[in-house]
Amino acid sequence: MIQEDKECWLSVVVTAYNVEAWIPRCLDSLLQGWLPGVEIIVVDDGSTDGTAAQVRQYEHQALRPYLLPRNGGVSAARNFAIQQARGTYLAFVDGDDTVAPSYYEAIQAALQATPAQFYSFEAFNFFPDGREATPVVGLDRSFQGKGAELLELMHRCHVHSFHCWRVVVEREVLLAKGWLFPEELSVFEDMAWFLMTCLGAVSACHVPAPIYRYWHRSNSVINQSTEQSRLGRVHAVAGCIQRLKLMQSEVTEKRVKQILGNLGCHLCFSAFHQMKRIASIEMKTRARCALWKSGAAGFLLHNGGYLKLREQVRAYKRALQLCLAVVTSCRSMREK
């Protein structure tokens, strides 16, 4: 265990839920290149398999394991770890992913070279079937400036990989600003967090070093394709839309408002795609109502002008469809 809080320059937050088969690979990679002054906080989010037992097998001075009594979701687990962390900076790792051998050295070099509140790095896609690893779509250039400027650069380069595992952020700023993960979102939670944190950062730095390894699993949460999971994604989009509307109201730069509007419109498009694949009338109605209550129709109408012409038509059409669908549903319920 790290003896002095002041010596802890980095807290790596590992969240784990039912990843018994993968957590050893994750921890092995984190311990392989470990440097003094790094603590590794492992939060088992109420797993029902042998994840906790696997973590207990590791005895290392850097490890700080926690077992939560029940599954509260990845955002709640990350927020719990943030409160427990002692490092000057925070990094995030999913329990079924791994990091490169140069992980700590690359982070340390960036912190020493360019003091900032927010850092982003690059990653590789890894596949369990042996396919060749491929880069996650990202920036191939270095950047120093404001967080809003980094977001503009990412958008200009068509980089929309907004994941917390590519971020290192200053802990005190995170806590002071209240930049915690949105616990009401089951998916897209790190996108909402990334945008909020990046936009709020006075100083930001991007390092084009691929230090994270994102492993694709067919049974991961994001790849579930049940009716309930599709409904959950629509609810998550509704929550994201509300947060994007709030962010738009707080920023003054027109270009940033446009970027947030563009991202929100495409999120709405993805929600409509999910609704098409929901067969249950009841679930589809619930999905439409969730989008309606989030203000998605108004968001599409207000922000559709930021899109290309073909997508503008699509945005206005989807907004009209949502309005008509909700009116029809309400009328049917009254008739019953």
CB within 8 Å of 322: residues ≥ 6 apart: 288, 291, 292, 296, 297, 300
Which pLDDT belongs to residue 336? 52
Q: Which pLDDT score, from 0 to 100, does residue 330 have?
A: 56
CA dist., res. 157 & res. 201, Å (int): 20
- Give me the pLDDT at residue 2, please: 36
pLDDT in tens for each of the 336 residues of the chain?
333 455 899 999 999 999 999 999 999 999 999 999 999 999 999 999 999 999 999 999 999 999 999 999 999 999 999 999 999 999 999 999 999 999 999 999 999 999 999 999 999 999 988 788 999 989 999 999 999 999 999 999 999 999 999 999 999 999 999 999 999 998 899 999 999 999 999 999 999 999 999 999 765 555 556 889 999 999 999 999 999 999 999 999 999 999 999 999 999 999 999 999 999 988 999 999 999 999 999 999 999 988 888 888 888 888 888 888 877 765 555 555
Q: What is the pTM of this model?
A: 0.90
| Nearest Cα residue to 160 out of 182, 191, 133, 189 | 191
| Segment (H or E) for 182 | none
Structure-token pair, residue 35? 């440097």
